[in-house]
Structure 1
Amino acid sequence: MSTPQTPRTFGATSTTAEVIDGVDLHGRRAVVTGASSGIGVETARALAAAGADVTLAVRDTDAGARVAARLEAELPPTSGKLTVGRLDLSDRSTVAAFVTAWSGPLHILVNNAGVMAPPEISRTADGREWQFAVNHLGHFALATGLHPALAAANGARVVSLSSIGHLFSPVVFDDLDYRYRPYDPWTSYGQSKSATSLFAIGAAERWADDGITTNAVMPGNVGATSLGRNMDPQQVAAVIAAGELALPPEKSVEQGAATSVLMAASPTVEGVTGRYYEDCAEAKPVAERAGAVTGVAPYALDRDNAARLWTVSEAFIR
């Protein structure tokens, strides 16, 4: 990667074009999950524009192929190659197939795909609560399965998308799958996004000697995405009216993907690992949820929590 001639800082309104400016990713390979819509598409676009060969890892390969064709038509000839791979994070067999099919080094892994707040509980075929399974366990299986490829890259970066929604709940180790407590879409979402952050903490410690950096990011309030496709609009309105949900200022897709691209490719964060970033900067600790629209809860950065979650997650994906 080339370093910009002038030191630069970025913020909440920075775009992918700004954070990737001057970065050369030719010869690098990247995987972006959920790259058939929203900030996943923009993340793939930015990385490919800088020269990376990008695999769009998606559930619907037809939709992925349409996105790849559109990006190829829009991007300059110097851009990296775009390919499409099938990946359903709720189905461990497709995760295993994706990992098995991968060969060679992997320089960038962006765990971007996710689901948010479906009103009714759903479970995967192996009995896991759906949000925890998709947002955390599927990505955990993918990243750990691709670990040899990441280690072979000699300086790989893993970026996992968390959310301000992690403030709704820590990881509840005694009832991860809502067997003993009533299902709540928001605490379930919060738990899965706390888990996403804890994965970055756990992987940072375990993979440091392999030259792999792992960080969690909060993209912000990006309206033009499909993340909330399973949500009940009336339920969301009720949560906002009750003051249980505060939203930061809305961002464009280009602004929402900027923190992911920064952590995936910018030389300004070279060597940074085990952190939680938002608005293209490291987030500050937040003591309580009420009214918070920025910041990270201490429980989402806790090393003991991260170690416990790693052990539990390994057992779940065996």
Structure 2
Amino acid sequence: MTGAGQQSEDFHFPALVNGLDFLVSAVGSLSGDNGQPGPRDVKYAVLHLQAAVETLLKARLEMHDPALVWTKVGAFDQRKHEAGDFSSCGVKIAIERLRDTVQIESKIDPEDVSLRALGSLRNRIMHFGWKDTVVAVQARTVPVLDLLVGFINTDVLPHVDQPDEAWSAERQMEQLRAGFKHLTDFIVLRMQALRSQLDRYEHSTAACRSCGQFAVVLDGGAHDLACLLCGKQYGTGAEAAWEFIGSSRYVSVTQGGGDLNGCGSCGTYSVISTPLANSPEEDSWICFDCGSTHEGVCTFCDQAADLVPEMDMCSDCYEIRLDNF
């Protein structure tokens, strides 16, 4: 408590230092005491990480031109800017301006999957309630942290021209690097421990909706599908497939839609297109019930199968068409 005539200590958080402070807080909360963060730690880690993303992107925009932080660049007013009396751009627009106007070196996609997933986590916490596992959030946030650390090192720190700010930023980065390494090492070790369960199943392993890791093995009609890393439960193959596309059979049918595509191998309607561990950069047609992969979906019977070359139909439908002629 300050005495009579004394002033409480002033604080000063320039945009960069402020963003790094959010980032250090997020990493510290994700690591937790002895590597075991509690639910409240994880909640604030997500909120602070999202705040770090927004603040750091806009800090770099401001280094180039403060008007770029505004939603409407042409409406920029210095006095309103200093007072915070304006509407700032969102993450996607900030990245587009960094890419197109500032021309940063880092290759950040405005539609980056990890950034979008973080934004969704933040929205669920703030508006809809939230249930997840600690490991899921830790794994999901690692790609965002990796992206930010690269962006800061390459496109932010070299452009800091105030010695005091540069010194503060480098001290924060030392804390950040140590915490980030601890977190990434933890996820790597967890995935290595699962290697014996994942080996030979790369063709039928999907990325978990919660943690983002390729650790959901679709193998043979299981009724209790779960992520081997974070433990998220998916239920039956059909239930998992619907969750992967962000819907349910009930919602689809009541809104005038249909069922999922049928599987040409097992006959169940549990086929969707999603990346798999053996081809993470492209979607593959796979049955979530039996784990069979297919070339595509027949445009005539809606069954997933190996298609006739240069024809969007399965061999059965092709034979039927030939018989009609």
Task: From the two aligned structures, give the one with the greater helix fraction.
Answer: 2
- Higher normalized contact order (CA 8 Å, seq sep 6+, divided by chain length): 1
Please give the TM-score of this superposition, normalised by the length of structure 2.
0.23
Please give the TM-score of this superposition, normalised by the length of structure 1.
0.23
Question: Which structure is larger by alpha-carbon Rg, 1 or 2?
Answer: 2
